[in-house]
Amino acid sequence: EAAGEAEVRLLLQEARESIEAARSYRRELQQRLRGLHQAREQIKDSATLTRDVLEQHFSDLKGTLKKLLDERLMSLLQEVDVIEQESIKPLDECQKLIEHGVSTADDLLREGETSAVDGDVGQQNEKLCNFTKKALHIQLDSLPEVPSLVDVPCLSAQLDDCLLTILKNQIFRHGTVASRPPVQLEEFVEKPGGILVRWCKVDDDFIAQDYRLQYRKSTASHFEDVYVGSETEFMVLHIDPNVDYQFRVCARGDGRQEWSPWSVPQIGHTTLVPHEWTTGLEGYSLSSRRNIALRNDSQSCGVLYSKAPTYFCGQTLTFRQTVGQPDRRDSLGVCVEQRNGDDSLQRDKAVCISTNGAVFVNGKEMTNQLPAVTSGSTVTFDMEVVQLGPCSNEGGNFKLRVTISSNNREVVFDWVLDQCCGSLYFGCSFSYPGWKVLVF
């Protein structure tokens, strides 16, 4: 009986495993069906969009071509009008001159006939003498010049059929239909108040000169440019946490002006709240999003801390700054707690870099030094946890491996603390005005 029960239990176990395997198999098949449905919808939607784009483009092209042809026709007709008017004008003037001469000749004939038959001999002699003088004055042997037909314009239109051949060849080569864009989005990395977007080429034959990244909120109707350049990644800032954003990227081939087709749009988001400086410190002015701090002209000094301990180990904390006059007590870094009354992070329970490149750990300067901070450069902090002792509510030995990078150089060291730290504050201090720091 015991053997029978064991066999039944074994069969039941195998049956349960088979049922679970069937469920898992069904889930996988359903997921693949959804993937096929999405692929089919992408093909249909992109085909519909492509048809609309082609129809609209060629409709606009037809309208533009008709407008250009109408403008050219009008220009040629106006040219015909000008030539006609300029050529006929001297003929009209010559015609008026001839008609005036005919009229003058008619008057002279009538006067001559009258002088020859009317009055006595003495009067006739006087009239004939006057008539002769008048005829000589009129210069009856002077005739206006009338141009021959070969000397006057004969208008014609010169229309070369090669234009149709050129247009035909250009039109037949105009436009292409691509089944796959040459570049696709590759990765989204969540950042506090931002998303690091990476993309890559998927067409090895395509030589990219520039990339163009666009994004929009899922509720927005239009994409907007966020980056144009030669890099294959970009940090998109001012991202609201827990909100979906749609991204797409395209490329421009080497030596070309037109952009490639857009990549398949993808959704990215961040769950990390943005880093913010705390408000209210007299020596600093903040941007509207409170992620940029400007050291103002106030004589008051002190450490400007983050609003909350929003830096977590495993993340990268980045400072980008515009420089002012440096001072050896300046600092950029992270700390375990806010502490009022200090004028620098060069103290215990803090790690920082001075604007001259010196690195401080718990207030002590390290031997290794980084390059001095310059305008537009970035300083990054990366930390990972190495636990030395048990971590409890009462605390314990705690070690963080810290990497600080600046101007393509970095230092790595271990920061030993006497308590567990799940999150850290960041801060800065500058003695002189003009310093501006963006944190992300």
Same domain for 135 and 54: yes
pLDDT tens readout for residues 283-333: 999 999 899 999 999 888 899 999 999 999 888 999 999 999 999 999 999
pLDDT tens readout for residues 201-257: 998 888 899 999 999 998 888 999 999 999 999 999 889 999 999 999 999 988 888
CB-based contact 304:281 (threshold 8 Å): yes
Query: 222, 238, 268: which is the final residue of a domain?
Result: 268
- H-helix or E-strand containing 43? helix 2-117
- pTM, entire model: 0.59
The domain of 146 spans 13-173
Query: 240, 268, 296: which is the final residue of a domain?
Result: 268
Regarding beta strands 398-406 and 292-295, do their DSSP bridges make them parallel or antiparallel, or are they unpaired?
unpaired
Same domain for 218 and 142: no
Residue 140 has pLDDT above 70, yes or no: no
Q: Is residue 302 part of a domain?
A: yes
| Helices first, then strands: H and E counts in the chain | 3, 21
> Quick one: residue 326, left, alpha or beta (phi over 0 = left, psi -120 to 50 = alpha)?
beta
Q: Is residue 2 part of a domain?
A: no
Residue 395 has pLDDT above 50, yes or no: no
- H-helix or E-strand containing 209? strand 208-217
Q: Is residue 346 part of a domain?
A: yes
The structural domain count of the chain equals: 3
